[in-house]
Amino acid sequence: MILVVFVELLEAINTRAMVREFIDQPLKEEEKQLILESAIRAPTAGGNEQWYFIAVESKEYLEKLHNLLVDAQRLYFTNILKIPWSMEQIEKWEKKVEAGLYKAPFYVAVFTDLRSRFYMKADVEERWAEQSAAAAIENMLLAAHSMGIGGCWFGVPLLMEDKFYDLFKVKKEEMRLVAVLAFGYPKQKQPPRQRKKGLKEVVRSL
């Protein structure tokens, strides 16, 4: 039994891919619950659970968040990449946005919750909290994938953080935005993406 579960987990890890286009159908309550529960099962530095999640599911906030994500993503393509996208690429992408790219029935904003502090070194504590949040993120993506739900991890909100803090009504002195995740049933099956670097390039044995 244990071996079977292990193999299923490895399969989930190996077949997961970011999904950015979803069908217009809400997720079931139990599915959303299982995704969120998997977040807090992640390892957490010092057992301190310095994380916080905002689940976005109302029509009003789904729309507002989608618009902000598109703005942040546009900024990434045009002002952040060392080689920005060409006009042609942007136009093609804008058409996809019009067709619903990134529009999801469920988003989860992930924060580090720094209201309680446990260490003498604030910078290290913040890095640990962020690593814990990243572990929670991967847990959610894998849990979703195991239920046939696609997910995407958005880091671009960090490019225009203040707009996101305003939307979520969160004080950045208390909580720090790590990412926004989108979840929904995939519009089409997304096969796993090839890696550019093989193990030989990124692993050194001693």
Kindly list the strands in the beta sheet with 150-154, ordered across the sheet, starting from the edge strand earlier in the chain: 51-56, 106-113, 175-184, 150-154
Cβ closest to ligand FMN, residue 55 vs residue 159: 159
User: According to the binding rule CB under 6 A, does residue 154 interact with ligand FMN?
Assistant: yes
User: According to the binding rule CB under 6 A, does residue 135 interact with ligand FMN?
Assistant: no
Q: What tokens appear for 159 in the block?
A: 């490019």
Among residues 129, 140, 149, 156, the one that binds ligand FMN under rule CB under 6 A = 156
User: According to the binding rule CB under 6 A, does residue 197 interact with ligand FMN?
Assistant: no
Nearest residue to ligand FMN on Cβ basis:
155
Residue type, 194: Q
Q: What tokens appear for 99 in the block?
A: 């067709």
User: According to the binding rule CB under 6 A, does residue 153 interact with ligand FMN?
Assistant: yes
Query: What residues between 69 and 98 interact with ligand FMN by CB under 6 A?
Result: 73
User: According to the binding rule CB under 6 A, does residue 17 interact with ligand FMN?
Assistant: yes
User: According to the binding rule CB under 6 A, does residue 18 interact with ligand FMN?
Assistant: yes
- What's the min distance (Å) between Cβ of 18 and ligand FMN? 4
With a CB cutoff of 8 Å and minimum separation 6, the contacts of 1 are none
Q: Judge contact between 101 and 20, C-beta under 8 A.
A: yes
CA atoms within 13 A on the CB side of 40: 10
Residue 79 CA to residue 82 CA, distance in Å, equals 8
- What's the min distance (Å) between Cβ of 153 and ligand FMN? 4
Cβ closest to ligand FMN, residue 149 vs residue 156: 156
Cβ closest to ligand FMN, residue 18 vs residue 124: 18
- Short-list 160, 196, 174, 205, CA closest to 52: 174
Q: Which range, of 88-96, 120-128, 154-162, 168-176, touches ligand FMN by CB under 6 A?
A: 154-162
Q: What tokens appear for 87 in the block?
A: 């006009």
Alpha-carbon distances of 4 from 8, 11, 52, 140, rounded to whole Å: 6, 11, 32, 21
Residues that bind ligand FMN (CB under 6 A): 17-18, 20, 73, 152-156, 193
